[in-house]
Structure 1
Amino acid sequence: MALPKEFHEIARRVNNWGRWGAGDETGTLNLITDEVVRAAAGEVRTGRRVPLALPLRQDGVQTGVIPGRVNPLHAMVQLNQELFGPGTVACSDDVVTMGLQAGTHWDALTHVSHSGTLYNGRPADTVTAHGGAEFGGIDKVRHLVSRGVLLDVAGARGVERLAGDHAVTPEDLAAAEEFGRVRVRAGDVVLVRTGQVRLYLAGDRHGYGHPSPGLSVRCPEWFHARDVAAVANDTLTFEIFPPEIEDLWLPVHALHLVEMGMPQGQNWNLEELSTACGETGRYAFLLSAMPEPFVGATGTPVAPVAVL
Structure 2
Amino acid sequence: MTPMPPEFHDLAKRVNNWGRWGRDDQRGTLNLLTPHHVRAAAGLVRTGRTVSLSLPLSQDGPQTGIIPGRINPHRTMIMCNTPITGDTRQFCTSDDVVEMGLQAATHWDALAHVSYAGRLYNGFPASVVTSAGAAYCGVDRIGQVVGRGVLLDLPRMLGVDVLPPGYAVTAADLDAAEELARITVSTGDLVLVRTGQLRRLKAGDRDGYGAPSPGPSLGTVEWFHRRDIAAVATDNLTFEVYPGELADAPFAVHLLHLVEMGLLQGQNFDLEELSEDCADDGVYEFLLHATPLPFRHAVGAPVAPVAVK
TM-score (norm: length of structure 2): 0.98
SS in structure 1 of the partner of residue 166 of structure 2: coil
The Cα offsets for residues 73-107 of structure 1, whole Å up to 9 and x where unpaired, read as 11111111000231111111111011000100000
Correspondent of 2:112 among 110, 113, 124: 110
Verify: 1:178 aligned to 2:179, yes or no.
Answer: yes
- Code of the residue aligned with 1:120 in structure 2: it is N
- Code of the residue aligned with 1:239 in structure 2: it is E
Verify: 1:251 aligned to 2:245, yes or no.
Answer: no
- Code of the residue aligned with 1:142 in structure 2: it is G
1:248, distance to aligned residue in structure 2 (A): 2.0
- Name the count of aligned residue pairs: 307
1:165, distance to aligned residue in structure 2 (A): 2.0
Runs of 4 or more consecutive aligned structure 1 residues displaced over 3 Å after TM superposition:
none
Of residues 295-304 and 82-91 in structure 1, the stretch that sits farther from structure 2 once superposed is: 82-91
* RMSD over aligned Cα atoms: 0.7
Verify: 1:163 aligned to 2:164, yes or no.
Answer: yes
SS in structure 2 of the partner of residue 218 of structure 1: helix
1:210, distance to aligned residue in structure 2 (A): 1.0
**1:195 equivalent in structure 2:** 196
- Code of the residue aligned with 2:23 in structure 1: it is A
**1:133 equivalent in structure 2:** 134
Verify: 1:53 aligned to 2:50, yes or no.
Answer: no
**1:216 equivalent in structure 2:** 217
Q: Is the 8 A contact 2:246 2:252 kept in 1?
A: no
**1:146 equivalent in structure 2:** 147
The Cα offsets for residues 133-183 of structure 1, whole Å up to 9 and x where unpaired, read as 000110111200010000001111111100002100111100000011111
Identity %: 59
1:288, distance to aligned residue in structure 2 (A): 0.1
1:218, distance to aligned residue in structure 2 (A): 1.4
SS in structure 2 of the partner of residue 282 of structure 1: coil
Verify: 1:81 aligned to 2:82, yes or no.
Answer: yes
**1:242 equivalent in structure 2:** 243
CA distance in 2, matches of 1:115, 1:77: 44
Verify: 1:97 aligned to 2:99, yes or no.
Answer: yes
List alignment gaps of at least 5 residues for structure 2: none
1:22, distance to aligned residue in structure 2 (A): 0.4
1:220, distance to aligned residue in structure 2 (A): 1.3
**1:225 equivalent in structure 2:** 226
Verify: 1:264 aligned to 2:265, yes or no.
Answer: yes
- Code of the residue aligned with 1:95 in structure 2: it is V
CA distance in 2, matches of 1:158, 1:114: 38
CA distance in 1, matches of 2:11, 2:202: 35
1:59, distance to aligned residue in structure 2 (A): 1.9
TM-score (norm: length of structure 1): 0.99
CA distance in 1, matches of 2:245, 2:5: 13
CA distance in 1, matches of 2:210, 2:166: 12
List alignment gaps of at least 5 residues for structure 1: none
SS in structure 2 of the partner of residue 219 of structure 1: helix
